[in-house]
Structure 1
Amino acid sequence: MKISVIIPVYNAEKYVTQAVESALQFPEVSEVILIEDRSPDNALEVCRKLAVIYDRVKLYQHPDRGNHGAGPSRNLGIEKATGDFIAFLDADDYYLPNRFNAEREVFKDPAIEGLYGALGVNYYSEKAKNDYYRVFGDRLTTVYQKYHPEDVFPGQLGMRGSFGLIHLDTLTIRKNALHKLDSFFKKTLRLHQDTEFLFRLSFCTNLYPGILDQAIAMRGVHENNRITKVDTKKINPATTRVLLWREVNEWAKSQDAIPGDIKLHITRMTRSFEIAVAPFFKKWFMILKYLITDYPSIRSGLYNINFRRDLF
């Protein structure tokens, strides 16, 4: 198998070398594709050096050399990839030696289109651990049990109770399976574009569990992670997630094959976040409206995603 590992690079000069070298340890990795996204730090120069040192490292920028975000950067990486399989890695994360152990066996079955595993946590400093341990702890980010592929889509949407999450760092997908999607990563989302992508991917392809009980890659947590600013409410999570769910809702409406109960769940999740970000008086009007017409739209937010503290 030939795996193309795609790494979007932004403001990651301290970490990208570790990410690249963690991917190069595997003979199956035929190329590591760096998409440098006009970083304000010295990341471009670090990437240039890596491309000189390692012949499997390929460096690209957007045609206008501008900053476009992680989603469009991954899209460019997919376009440039020559491998039969695609894997993703954030520039401040890294793979562990067991990263592709399951893939070597599972992908012998041509019917299996994608595989996911478990992500661990590494704190790059004591300050990062003190600031963000309450967010990530030492927990694995993973799907908690070995589910059949047909359960993965509703499970990721929150319809299967305590299901768990797929992280992009642990996904390996056949490149030809990606063409089942109407598009890759959405340019309209600066955050959570990976979550939206995984929602659609789990609906359109057969995703199977790999190693779920131990980490196959590590999330690098430091003071400048964009996602930690969301998870610790330096950026309002309801604001970013309402954009995510609106995008998912519009897509779901266009898919005749999605069952009605799943579409209704998506609509209710969207309404829940819209209530969370609404101005004070509009919020109460919306709550009253849905208490009368569609109480589960309130309940979805209050119980499924526990954003009660964002409401008031």
Structure 2
Amino acid sequence: MKISVIIPVYNAEKYVSKAVESALQLSDVYEVILVEDQSPDNALQVCHELVQKDERVKLFQHPDLGNHGAGASRNLGIEKATGEFIAFLDADDYFLPNRFTAEKELFKDPKTDGVFNAIGTEYLTEKGKEEFMTNINDDELLTVNYAAEGNEVFRGLLGLTPRVFGSFFTLDALTVRKNSLETKKLRFNEALRLHQDSDFIIKLAHQCYLKSGIIDLPVAMRGMHDDNRITKIIKYSPQYNQRQFLFWNSLYEWSTTLSLEKDAAQHIYLQKKAFELSKKKGVSKTIGLLAAVFKNPYILKTKYRFTYSHA
């Protein structure tokens, strides 16, 4: 396998060396592509040093040298990648030695576009652990509940399977054929500063054929520390609701261009509508909610909690 590992780098001078080294130790890694995103710390200098240490490490920045977010950085990495396969790694996370074990077998099947696995959680600071437990508090092993492939992965991610599919798998645990991304014209939504990874994964699961790999053991570790943006957002707060609306609205706009199964299209629309209503207040919110419930009572089963006092 010739795998290009794409690492967006922002404010990660303390962690990026370990991330890069964890990828370089794997024989199937053909290149490590660092995309530095105008970091406020000394990350750019660390990246230059990593390039000098190993010829497989390549460094890029955006044409204007500005900050464009993780989605745009990953898109640039995809454009620059020359490997047959693409893998992603956050700069504060790292791969384990079994990272591509399942891929070596599963990609022998030409219909397989992508493989996903489980990842573990490592607390790099006590404050990071506290914020994680308060605002996220999902399982330390981020995985799915059972092996799945094809359309069941897409439906499972939307919560539409008879069995509960489980937690979201992450980009750190995903490997995909570059040709599949090109053929399907799949890229990250650069307008999303958060959740662009979840948005990408759901779209990928619908448009490509994904298979589960190692789902009972971690193949990578995500690092939780003081600067994790995602752990600082309190669930069902106005900021959380706004981020969720942007995420579901992105999926909704995408879904209107496709012929999705009716229940999948409805689910995406109702999630978008629920978080759209969350931005309203007082009488207008009450009227909007009553109208939405009258039109489709299933909106009350969305991820948004209409009873949250600050919504």
Corresponding residue for residue 298 of structure 1: 300
- The one-letter amino acid paired with 2:36 is E
Q: 1:216 aligns with which of 216, 219, 224?
A: 219
The one-letter amino acid of 1:291's match is V
Determine the structure 1 residue equivalent to 2:263. Answer: 261
In 1, Cα distance between the equivalents of 2:229 and 2:141? 20
Structure 1 residue 131, shift from structure 2 partner: 3.1
Given the superposition, is the C-alpha separation of residues 41 and 65 from structure 1 closer, same or farther in structure 2, using an over 3 Å criterion?
A: same
Instruction: Tell me what 1:285 maps to.
Output: 287
- What does residue 191 of structure 1 align with? 194
Match for residue 81 of structure 1?
A: 81
Per the alignment, residue 106 of structure 1 pairs with: 106
CA displacement at 1:30 relative to structure 2: 0.6
Q: Which runs of 5+ in 1 are unaligned?
A: none
Report the Cα distance in structure 2 between the residues aligned to 1:259 and 1:246, rounded to whole angstroms: 18
TM-superposed deviation, 1:232: 5.9
Q: Greater CA deviation, 208-217 or 159-168?
A: 159-168
Write the distance in 2 (CA, Å) between the matches of 1:311 and 1:298: 17
- Does structure 1 conserve the Cα–Cα contact (< 8 Å) formed by 2:186 and 2:204? no
Alpha-carbon offset, residue 230 of structure 1: 2.5
Q: How far off is 1:261 after superposition?
A: 2.0
In 1, are the aligned partners of 2:13 and 2:41 still within 8 Å (CA)? yes
Q: Do the aligned partners of residues 174 and 187 (structure 1) sit closer, same or farther apart at CA in structure 2, a change above 3 Å counting?
A: same
- Pair 6,29 (structure 1): closer, same or farther in 2 beyond 3 Å: same
- Specify the alignment match of 1:125 in structure 2: 125
- The SS at the match of 1:309 is coil
Identity %: 48
- Cα pair 1:118 1:142 within 8 Å, conserved: yes
Task: State whether structure 2 residue 45 is matched by structure 1 residue 18.
Answer: no
Letter in 1 for 2:86: I
2:308 match: 309
- 1:233 to partner: Cα distance: 6.8
Which structure is higher in helix share? 1
SS of the residue 2:233 aligns to: helix
In the alignment, structure 2 segments of 5+ residues that lack a partner are: none
Give distance in 2, aligned partners of 1:105 and 1:99. 13
Q: 1:155 to 1:205 in 2, by over 3 A?
A: same
Conserved in 1, the CA contact under 8 Å of 2:5 and 2:87? yes
Contact 1:229 1:235 in 2 (8 A): no
Partner of 1:272 in structure 2?
Answer: 274
- In the alignment, is the contact (CA less than 8 A) between 1:113 and 1:207 conserved in 2? yes
> Residue 206 of structure 1: CA displacement?
0.5
Which amino acid is 2:30 matched to? S
Q: What stretches of structure 1 move > 4 A for 4+ residues in a row?
A: 231-235, 305-308
Partner SS for 2:211: strand
Q: Is the 8 A contact 1:180 1:204 kept in 2?
A: no
Partner of 1:59: 59
How far apart in 2 are the matches of 1:131 and 1:265?
Answer: 30
Relative to structure 1, the CA distance from residue 308 to residue 172 in structure 2 (aligned partners, 3 Å threshold; closer, same or farther) is: farther
Query: What code does the residue aligned with 2:111 have?
Result: A
Identify which of 202, 206, 211 aligns with 1:203: 206
Alpha-carbon distance in structure 1 between the residues aligned to 2:264 and 2:235:
29
Contact 2:34–2:60 (Cα < 8 Å) also in 1: yes
Aligned length: 308
C-alpha distance in 2 between matches for 1:310 and 1:253: 32
Please report the TM-score for the alignment, with normalisation by the length of structure 1: 0.93
CA deviation map 1:189-234 (0-9, x unaligned): 1111111111110001110000000111111000111111225678
Give the match's secondary structure for 2:278. Answer: helix
In structure 1, C-alpha distance between the alignment counterparts of 2:19 and 2:305, rounded to whole Å: 34
One-letter amino acid matched to 2:133: Y
Superposition RMSD on alpha carbons, in Å?
1.8
Deviation, 1:311, is 6.5
307 and 288 in structure 1: CA distance in 2 versus 1, 3 angstrom threshold: closer
1:45 corresponds to which residue?
45
> Which position in structure 2 is the counterpart of 1:70?
70
